[in-house]
Amino acid sequence: MQEIASNKGVTVAQIALAWLLHQPVVSTVIIGAKKAEQLIDNIKATEVKLTKEELLQLDTVSKLSAEYPGWMIERQGADRK
């Protein structure tokens, strides 16, 4: 996120929130601002536009490992593909 934030001249928090706002399954983003400056920074995330390449990069690094039994089914059925 730091690299993308630096390239866009925004904060890492803005990139993180912008990524969430680009997710079709996310209907609400809850922010945890404690100070007015944090709130302003978080609101600016709505102005950040991420490219398809940036979204793919962020999706790749944030992808969760498959949970059981999903990974087990894939491993046991690998020879059947």
The structure's pTM equals 0.78
Helices 12-21 & 36-43 angle (0-180, nearest 10): 50
Is the torsion defined by CA of 18, 19, 25, 28 positive or negative?
A: negative
Name, of 22-26, 50-54, 59-63, the range with top average pLDDT. Answer: 50-54
Compute the mean pLDDT over every residue in the chain, rounded to the nearest whole number: 91
